[in-house]
Chain A
Amino acid sequence: MNTANPTRRADVRAELHAPATPLVRLASEPYYHATGDELAVFEAAARSCLPVMLKGPTGCGKTRFVEHMAWRLKRPLVTVACHDDLTTADLVGRYLIVGDETVWMDGPLAAAVRAGAICYLDEIVEARKDTTVVIHPLTDSRRALPVEKHGEYIEAPHDFMLVISYNPGYQSVLKEMKPSTRQRFVALDFDYPDAEAEARIVAHEGGVDAATAAKLVKLGGLTRKLKGAGLDEGAGTRLLVHAAQLIASGMAPEIACIAAIARPLADEADTRDALDDLIRAVF
């Protein structure tokens, strides 16, 4: 972890109250199994200073992909998980009152712009609508972040890159991304990898043998058929990896899958029981 900016370092005391933005520099290669031409597209977008939108269901490797690309491009990474309380100030920065003084504190977006980092806004539609517009000037030819409160206009260096993720599976009209926002991005479609690739990922990430990984992937595929028939979404690769990790640590497969896959997916009794049945069927 690194501080936001050595030249504009916030007052030391302020850090006691509000942590500085985590600016991650990845030292070793995050494992990522490419499923299409996403590496090439992302690199080209980075060269051309274009923002990128990753679309796809949860747990299919979007975050991992961004980490991998940050490592590949040797840029620091700032990740923000968006939520419905996320304000503009949370992204850009704010004054804190420290003792008798006011101290400016960069938000993660401002910190990323200054540092020429990749800023990853995860699940952007979850953020409040008025928050989303602050990214607009960063995503067109201006490539700058106006910070009104601080009377500043931060121009983005070449290496700054904005990446957002978005799950089109949600059907809420209140959570749709406006065309004025979405048309600013180069978009990459993510989906669950095919069975063979997914098994390889699960085996690698979860530390299980190929046969167990294949069974987990089979199970994942079955749960995905329940999308819209009891589940909002089937098990993503992440859940399969979790189950694999539990199995690798010595837990019985059935119990591991119930804990790592069935329970996180469903509360409703019939669906939960059906998932248990599927787990038993596969193992």
Chain B
Amino acid sequence: MSERKLFAHELEARLDEVLLLSLRQRSAEGPAALLEALPRAMQERVLHWAGVAAQTSDDLGWLIASLAAEQAAGLGPRLDDWVRAGLDAYDRSGLAATRRALNEFAEAHRTSSRHSREGIAFTAIEGRLSRFLHALDGRPLKLVSGPRAWTDSETLWLPERLEVAADAPGNRRLYKGIAALLWAQTRFGSFNIDPEPELERWPDREAALAWMAVFEAMRLEACIARELPGLALEIAGLRGPWPPELAAAADKLAQAQATAADSLACMAEIRTVGAGDTPTFPHIGAIDPIAARRVRAARIARELAVVRRALNVIAATDTKAGAADNPDYPPLAAEAGMQAVDPQADLQGDLSALPPAAREAAKSLIQDLGEIPPEALHPAGPGAWQPVAGVEESGVVSVTTRPDAFYDEWDYRRGSWRHGWCHLYEMKAPVGDHDWVDEVRTRHAHLIRSIRRRFEALRGEDKPQRRQFDGEEIDLDAQVEARADRKSGAEPSPRLFIHRRRIERSLAVMFMVDMSGSTKGWVNDAERESLVLLCEAIEALGDSYAIYGFSGWTRTHCDIYPVKRFADRYDAATRGRIAGIEARDYTRMGVAVRHLSGLLVRQNTRHKLLVTLSDGRPDDYGDEYRGRYGIEDTRRALLEAREKGIRSYCVTIDRHGADYLPQLYGPAHYSVIDDAKKLPQKIAEIYRKLTG
């Protein structure tokens, strides 16, 4: 193993010694501090050359030492050439020329190495790599760029740019290798044990973490090899053979039963014999167990609550549900075929009893803990999802004008309607900043063009197809030919008709836009941008569409904002109202669905579609609407819409709450966008799939 690095004070003493600095009243403190970061071999080269130069002149020695401290890291193996070029210049033209020559050499080296290396930017591999990681097993990771490569077990950071390898494919492979090993940290349990007892015994925490990352990389590479041998081979190619003194550890950690504890054992071993320089490998990212374990603990708490809540619902729900026999609307997961499930039963083997979101949470728990902790299986524990009954709304907003309409609301606890319960107001939609729309259209000009092109193709044409066996019209040309053929004794073709291919796009779409307070900021921006893109797209298609915002504040104040009625054109006024959509109050969804489906049903089209854009579950001021009550009421409202021939679809920006969507909209009738930023890019595609 190589010798350990020299610390700054040691370097300072050595420099002092070779340069006789104390005699000249100079201090090596600055250069020494810079040199501390270099590997030991490099430090020794610098000290060596400083001594050599000092034999010619004290000033030359000082110059070499101080410039080397700054530039050695960049020069790497060319340090010796650099010094020789400097000494050469000194011999010919003196000290000033030496400084110039050294700087020029370093500059030329920088430029040439930049040219000879083809770096890769994170943005160039982001899409490919995030899909790659998404396909791998385990909990999904979010991929972002940052100053160093590491993961907190939910987000994976990679450097902005890599130019370690000589060419672009090499750097691309390196990105993949780094990312794969970080993915493996979360997949194969690097954070499942607490490393602090070991880490605390190291004088230098950074060094300890670096060693931990190396040993874990050895173990994880072997884990990967068992599932994805091709990937492991590629990673091995990135690192070359392990240094001989580490080979034994690598073998040990490659065994199938090795865990993170074994990596810590290797650390303890090396600590007792005295760890030298930490070897650095380009493919090994950093490890930060404190941050990762904090994220992990929060996740475990969150997911325990989800699993527990699902089990509570299973335990608490009675089995006879009203609409359980409608195949399009699966009943609440709790009601659907789950009555047989004993919540205390052993879940470890079979998760299929759980609704999808809870199943994901359970899988994630198993990934973190190796099992679902028994305490999660006690249904009455904290996290019980029980609607708070009988909390009366306080602070009801006083309303002076008469509502535009009253709507019934479904109270699942009573199993009956509350008549005329919701007061609906059609408000005037405020007009926003016109410049904003222009800015969005400019910014997305390219996207808009491509969307329009694709959508125009979708619209298709009413193309007459000639010379068919059968069709709505007679193909005169073919008839004439056939008659001529027959006259001449040749066999006439039987293809004598024109068939018109009809377009069946008779579709009206209502966009119901969540304007609740929680959309403030970025979700609201994303909603508005998406609407602009949608309008551009739908204009190309010719479907009839409307946009209404909704928000409110208790049952006596449910507001609807017409942004674009079916009759409105997509003109400057409409665009202004899109810009004016803003985050307001709460999300009492049932009444909005009832009102808007009433408007939609009057459209004279074959197909009717209600698309909700929202950022979460139904909710209103006071606790009543927040829990199961709001979900049940909204579900009811969607069922009523369905009975009127309206299909519903929901696009949600929601990280946690997606569990209720299958119950509300049915499977495959919603999209969850985890990142609001992506909504504008995705919305047109969702619409195309939905109606294509």
Which A residues form the contact surface with B (CB < 8 A)?
Answer: 13-14, 17-18, 85, 87, 89, 94-100, 128-129, 168-174, 176, 179, 182-183, 218, 222-223, 225-226, 228-230, 232, 269-271, 273-274, 277-283
Known: A97-B494, A100-B486, A171-B689. A283 touches B230 (CB 8 A): yes
Task: Return chain B residues, CB-CB under 8 Å to A170.
Answer: 689
**Contact (Cβ within 8 A) A173 B328:** no
Contact A270 B470 (CB under 8 A): no
Please tell me which one of the listed residues A17, A171, A179, A277 contacts residue B176 in the complex, with CB atoms under 8 A apart.
A277
Quick check: B131 and A274 within 8 Å, CB to CB?
Answer: yes
* A176 CA to B645 CA, complexed, in Å: 12
Q: List 27 A-B contacts (CB under 8 A).
A: A17-B494, A87-B470, A87-B499, A97-B492, A99-B491, A99-B492, A168-B667, A168-B668, A169-B668, A172-B690, A173-B507, A173-B607, A179-B327, A225-B135, A226-B134, A226-B135, A232-B689, A270-B127, A270-B128, A270-B131, A274-B131, A274-B135, A277-B176, A278-B132, A280-B234, A282-B229, A283-B230
A89/B470 in contact, CB under 8 A: yes
Known: A174-B505, A182-B327, A274-B128. A17 touches B135 (CB 8 A): no
Flag if B501 contacts A85 (CB, 8 Å). Answer: yes
Residues of A within 8 A of B501 (CB): 85
Q: Is the CB of B692 within 8 A of A172?
A: yes
Most buried by A among B127, B234, B327: B127
Q: Which residues of B contact A229 (CB under 8 A)?
A: 131, 134
Q: Considering the chains assembled together, what is the distance between the CA atoms of A108 and B351 in angstroms?
A: 45
Query: A223 to B493, Cβ gap below 8 A?
Result: no
Contacts of A96 in B (CB 8 A): 469, 494
Residue with the greatest number of chain B CB neighbours at <10 A, chosen from A94, A128, A171: A171
| CB–CB A174/B469 < 8 A | no
Chain A residue at minimal CB-CB distance from B647: A173
B134 and A225 within 8 A (CB): yes
Judged by a CB distance under 8 angstroms, whether B14 is at the interface is no
From A99, A277, A281, B128 is in contact (CB under 8 Å) with A277
Interface of A is mostly: mixed
Residue of chain B at shortest CB distance from A273: B128
Tell me which residues from 466 to 509 in chain B have a Cβ below 8 Å from any Cβ of chain A: 469-470, 482, 486, 491-496, 499, 501-502, 504-505, 507
Beyond A171-B690, A222-B135, A274-B128, 16 additional pairs, beta carbon < 8 A: A17-B469, A94-B470, A168-B667, A174-B504, A182-B327, A222-B136, A225-B137, A226-B135, A270-B128, A274-B132, A277-B176, A278-B135, A279-B230, A281-B231, A282-B231, A283-B229
The residue on B at minimum CB distance from A228 is B671
Chain A residue nearest in CB terms to B501: A85
B470 to chain A, nearest CB (A): 5
- Provide the residues of chain A in CB contact with B176, threshold 8 Å: 277
Minimum Cβ distance to chain A for residue B229 (Å) = 7
Chain A residue contacts of B647, Cβ below 8 A: 173, 176
Of B129, B230, B668, the residue contacting A282 (CB under 8 A) is B230
B649 at the interface (CB under 8 A from A): yes
Q: Is B99 an interface residue (CB 8 A)?
A: no
Q: Which 8 A-B pairs have the closest CB atoms?
A: A270-B127, A274-B131, A281-B231, A281-B228, A222-B135, A273-B128, A274-B132, A173-B647
Alpha-carbon separation in the docked complex, A89 to B668 (Å):
33
Are A281 and B230 within 8 A (Cβ)? yes
Do B689 and A230 touch (CB < 8 A)?
no
Residues in A with CB closer than 8 Å to B328 are 179
| Bound: A175/B199 CA distance, A | 60
| A171 partner residues in chain B, CB cutoff 8 A | 649, 668-669, 689-690
Chain A nearest CB: distance from B116 CB in Å? 25
A269 vs B671: C-alpha distance when bound (angstroms): 23
Is B128's CB under 8 angstroms from A173's CB?
A: no
Q: How far is the CA of A226 from the CA of B127 in the complex (A)?
A: 13
A279 to B228: give the CA distance in the assembly, Å: 9
Please give me the residue from chain B that is nearest to A172 by CB atom. B692
- A85 to B504 alpha-carbon distance, docked (Å): 11
- Bound complex: CA of A252 vs CA of B255, how far in Å? 30
CB-based nearest A residue for B667: A168
If the complex has contacts A225-B134, A274-B135, are A173 and B649 also in contact, measured as CB distance less than 8 A? yes
Residues of B within 8 A of A271 (CB): 127, 131
Expressed in whole angstroms, the minimum distance between the Cβ of B608 and any Cβ of chain A is 9
Give the residues in chain B near A18, CB-CB below 8 Å: 469, 494
Are A226 and B131 closer than 8 Å at their CB atoms? yes
A64 to B330, CA, bound (A): 29
| Known contacts A17-B493, A99-B491, A270-B128: A172-B689 contact under CB 8 Å | yes
